[in-house]
Each structure stands twice: as C-alpha cells, then as structure tokens.
Amino acid sequence: MSRVTRFLVRRRGHGPAWHWTDIVSWVWLIAGTILMFGPVLWLVTSSFKGPAQLAEFPPTILPYEQIAAAVAGYEAPLPLYDVTQLDGTMRRLAEIRRIGTNAQMVDPASPGDRIDVNIADRSPVREVGLATDNYVQPLVTNDFLRFLWNSVFVTVMATIITLLTNSMAAFALSKYQFRGRDAVMLLIVATLMVPLSVILVPLYSVVNATGLMNSLWGVILPTVATPTGVFLLRQYMLTIPDELLEAARMDHASEWQIYWRIVLPLAAPALAVLAIFSVVWRWNDFLWPLIVLSRRETYTLQVGLNTYAGELNVQWHYILAMTVVTMIPVVLVFIFLQRFITAGIAGAGIK
Amino acid sequence: MAAVPPKLGMLVAAPLVLLARAVDPPLRWWQRRTGQNGMAAVFLLPNLAIFGVFVLFPLILNFVYSTTAGTNILLSDRTYVGLQQYGRLLDCEDYARRITCREDVFWTAVGNTALFVVFQVTTMVVVSTITALILNREIRGRGFFRAVFFFPVLLSPVVVGLIWRWILQRQGLLNLIMVSLGLDPEVWLNDRGYAFVATIGVSVWAHMGFYTLILLAGLQAIPRDLYEAAEMDGTPPARVFWRITLPLLGPNLAVVLVLALIRGVQIFDEVYVLTGGGPGTSTLYLTQYIYEVGFASILRNPGLAAAASILMGLVLVVLTLIQLWLSRRSEARGAKDT
C-alpha cells in the first residue's frame, strides 16, 4: 500500500476490519475541520463580493463581478445583461439606467435604439472577480486606517510594557528571598479573581481621574500587569541555576545587570510565549476599549468594526472586508507561531 | 521562534539597550544603599504599582460606588445611600416571577446567564472531551487537527461575532444550506429561541479548542503502561474508558469545568456583536447589563452597576477559589504519585 493510503486508513481495529471508533474519529475530525475553517473561508470569499451580490439569495460560493462593455456614444462602460425576450430567445444587452422595475437597455452593436426591459427578465453577465474596492474604500476614505494604526500602537506598546514589568516582577519573585514574598504572591493570585468585568465602573473612574480617558494609554496601562504572565515567567525563571547569578555577583555585576544581561536572555523562550499571548490578547481586546474610547479617531479596529456594524444600514461589503483585515495578524500568528501557544497553554493548563 | 534577522533584532533593541545601560548607575547606587532585597523591591515596583492603581484600588472603590447613587461617575457628585442599591437589585415581590422585580432587567440578565452557562459549559466540556479523546489517538496529522480546533480561539470576539452574524443573515450561508436540504430559510437572529441557541453555539465554537488542549495534555499524562496492561488482560474498550481514562482525567475535567464556568458567567464580547442582547432581552447577559447600566444607557446608574458587578464578582470569587483548590489538589496528587 502507498504511504498515503496507509496514513489514511491507520486505525484501531485489528486486521482489515474498521472499528467503529475509527469511523467516528475520522468523521469528527473531518467535520471539525470544515466547521472550524469553513466560516472563516466563507467570510473571506464574501468580503470580495460587491454590495449587490451580497444582498442576493441564495448566495453564490465565489465572488463575481459583472462584466461591462464600452458602448459607442456613452462615456463609461455599461453593465451587460442576458435578457430573455418575448419569443424566448436570449440577447445580450447593456443597461443605461434602471428606473423602478424598468431597465433602459441598448444593444452594444447598434447603440441607437433604446429598448425597455423589465428587470425580472434580465440577469447579469458575470465572471469570477474580486471587488477589491471593499478593502480600499474603508481604509482610504473612512477611518479604518486610523483604527488599524491605533490597534497596532496599543498592541505593540502593551506587549513591550507587559514583557518588561512582568519579567521584572517574576525575577524578583523567583530569585530573591524577602519578607512578604508570599504575601505578594498571594496578592497577585488574588488579582486573578478580579476580572475586568467586575471593576468596570471604578476602573473607569480611576482612568478618568488620571486623565487617560479617550487616550490609547488608558487602554494600554490597565491591561499590562497580567498575573498569568508573571506566573508563566516565574515558573520558567525558577529553572535558571542560581550559580550563574552568584558568579555574576562575584564579578561585581549589579542586580540590574544580572536581570538585563543574564536572566532576560535566558528566559527568552518564556518571553516569546508571553509576547505571543499578549499580542493576541491586546489585539482582540474589546470591552475595555469600548468603554474608554469615545472619540472616533481613538478607536481601535475592534471598536471601529463594532461601531460600523451596529449602524442602521449595515454596509456589509465594507464590514466583511475590514473583518478580514482585523483577522489577518491573528491568522499570521496562527500559521507561524501556533505551536508555541499550544505548548504554553498545555503547560500552564495542567498547573 | 521565527528567526528574526539578527541585524534587525539589534536595531529594534538598540534604544532599549541604551536605556538599560543608562539606568544601571543609579540602580547600582540604590543597590549599594538597600542591598539585594532593595533591588527586589525595584523589580517588583512597576508591576505592583499597576496592580495597585488599576486592579486593587478599583476593587475597593467598587464597594464604595455600590453604596452611592447618582448618574455622574465622579464620586464627589454622588450621594451615599448605604445598601440601597443592593436592596433595589434584590427587591422582588415574587421571586418566581421576574416581572414583579424592581430591577427586572437585572433578573432577566441573571436568568439568561444562568441558563446560558448551564448549556454552554455542558456542551463545551462534552465536545472538548470527545475531541481530546480523538486527538489522543495515534493518528498522524494529529498536530494539524489539534491546530484546527484551536484556530477560532485566536480570533477576536468581534470577528467571531461578525462571521456568525453574517452566516445567520437571511441571505446567509445557513439559509443556503437549509434551502439545499429542502427546508425553509429562517431569519435566525430575529427569533428569541434561535438567537439564544446561536450564542451558545458560537461561543462553544470559539472556545472549545482551548479546553481541548488542556484535556489533551491531561490525557497524554496518563501512563501508557496502564493501557497496555488493560489490553493484555483483554479489557473491553468501554471498561478501559470508564475505569482508567475517566478517573485519571478527572482532575483536568474539574479544572476545565470551573474555568469554563468562570468564563461563561462573564460572557459578553461575541454575544454583543452577534445579537446585541436581542431580540428584546433574550440574549442579554450579566456583563452587558453592567455595561449598559453603568455606561451605555441613557438612564445610567453607576452605583447600581457597581452593586451588580460585586454580586457577579462574589460568584466568580467562589468559582476561582474552587479552581485554585482543585489545581493545588491535582498538583499534590501528582507529587504524591511520583
């Protein structure tokens, strides 16, 4: 048997028989793959459809663009339609304009005569094409480029600060013995019990009092002292041998230099995992930015997306395109860095 | 880690390195004066300062807020009313009938959240366990499938909400499937029952990969020789599952259950984008209630929101304590067995 076939039919049952658990497993895995990736793929293909096509039912799988032809006597190319005439034959006509249920059309070959066609008798001539304007418009004319910048700023700044403050705290908690160390640990554990949703009102008041309202820093600062981050780094730093630190101290290195030049580089793998977590968390933050930011130019992508999607007349073609844009960094993280995240969670989850 | 070109890495790190070097002399001075533990304080300071200002202080302030009334967020403009806000929240003529309550929206939110949590957590644990069991088998390509289920976990809740809102539109994918199966299309999110089920389904879709990972790690920690011994004894697979796998997975299942409960109680983001709490208030959950009463609604009442959030916080504290106790216990048991 070829390797591929052997891979596909590797099973638990003995001999040539399929055990029922094998069938269930494969069905579950295949169905799971379709269910997990399908909606996202549907989002992407939908984002390349024009607004008219998005309103159609039943929807088509692929995005189509209507073909337009240049017709003598008209400036812009006119969209082409296949028209069913009274005698049942089909004819390809170009549409000048539509008024109500009546479409004024013209034969591209003989542009002189105007023909009136009921809109029910015509169907657009289309080929597979991407409505890239869905992506260009919101970024260029609406505020989405600004939103994108805000999201990037928040994510990068928050991650840098998180890495610095959490690693410093983890270093102190792992390599120093001092009175009150356990109390501090307990305090940090206690903050695990205080999720954001419980302190929304007073946190808003604190951020207001510190003048950070409507500022991206008001979004960044409350989120950087993550207890998970401190624990993750501390766990890792405990494995750094104390002898290294002692040797450095004997060479007259200051504690700060020990942190900066020995501990931090050695903790790089754990820092990388925390960095990935932080990037994903901060990029995806929604509730807190929603509360803190009330000026449109300060919105992050998530808040901006929600605002545009909450309008009375949702412009789905723009929303879908911007949703894809919002999704891209996370997809990149997934493709290239996914195994670090899964390793990090599996390690932390058992604890 | 993806290899960053060394030159680029050095360029980006250059200002930080300069800053670190500049900061060393004053810190050395401090260290000479206060010793090693003095430096420990320096290392702890930034993190603790942020904890203090943005977590601990607001926590205390929350209690203060819950005893005040008024629409203004500024504490100085508010009036002290003692436990009146709590009284208002819990004031019901007949606890069995939500409509008789003074803050009936609060009770609606609580009821919705309770129902949501029961169904969502059950579904989540069952689906995650089955997936973990399947992924634990010796299938090549396991890494790929593990990543597959984990993918939606990384997506932002806004993206998740919008993806599914689009699928559930009248002209959306689900109706296309319905029609091709010969069934009638529905306007899913306009129906109270379907919207509720949608919030459960969407949140299970978005989060099950995370719990699957934890359970998978737990399954892989079960020693192989137990299974081999059972196979040599000719034990039927069902018995192996009930007598070996399930008990040894028990601690992980408990942790997953509590984690899912904690997260479930706080559900907001993807539901808010998917349904906005509607139709009506059928998918209005507790966090959205707090958000609306505290910030978004015209009839703002931060004191009431603070009181509600403290009540929610109490439930979460209990759950978190259970979770910590459970993970302590499984750690201890692990240490005992070695």
A56 and B171: CB-CB below 8 Å?
yes
Identify all chain A residues contacting B20, using CB atoms and an 8 Å cutoff: 256, 260
B51 and A188: CB-CB below 8 Å?
yes
pTM (predicted TM-score): 0.86
User: According to the model, what pLDDT value does residue B46 have?
Assistant: 92
Average pLDDT, chain B: 87
Between chain A and chain B, the number of residue pairs with CB atoms below 8 A apart is: 304
User: According to the model, what pLDDT value does residue B239 have?
Assistant: 84
Query: Could you give the C-alpha distances from B263 to B60, B266, B277, in angstroms and in order?
Result: 23, 5, 18
| Residue A54, both tokens | 């998005």
d(CA B281, CA B289): 10
Predicted confidence (pLDDT) per residue in B258-308, tens digit: 989 999 999 999 999 999 988 988 999 999 999 999 998 888 889 999 999
> How close is the nearest chain A Cα to the Cα of B79, in Å?
16
> How close is the nearest chain A Cα to the Cα of B233, in Å?
16
Over 60: is that where the pLDDT of B2 sits? no
Cα angle: A59, vertex A61, A66; to 5 degrees = 75
B290 and A200: CB-CB below 8 Å?
yes
Q: What is the pLDDT along chain A (351 residues), one digit of tens a residue?
A: 455 555 555 555 455 567 777 888 889 999 999 999 999 999 999 999 988 888 887 788 888 888 888 888 888 888 888 888 888 888 888 888 888 888 888 888 887 788 888 888 888 888 888 888 888 888 888 789 999 999 999 999 999 999 999 999 999 999 888 888 888 888 888 787 788 889 999 999 999 988 888 899 999 999 998 888 998 899 899 999 999 999 998 988 888 888 988 999 999 989 998 999 999 999 999 999 999 998 989 999 999 999 988 887 788 999 999 999 999 999 998 888 877 777 777 665 544
User: According to the model, what pLDDT value does residue B6 have?
Assistant: 63
Interface ipTM: 0.86
Q: Cβ neighbours of residue A197 under 8 Å, at least 6 residues apart?
A: A287, B266, B268, B287, B290, B309, B312
A225 and B150: CB-CB below 8 Å?
no
Bridge partners of A128, per DSSP, are A64
Identify all chain B residues contacting A232, using CB atoms and an 8 Å cutoff: none
User: According to the model, what pLDDT value does residue A342 have?
Assistant: 74
Q: Where are the beta strands (DSSP E) in chain A?
A: 64-66, 68-69, 78-84, 90-99, 102-107, 110-118, 122-124, 126-128
Nearest CB to A255 within list B31, B157, B310 = B31
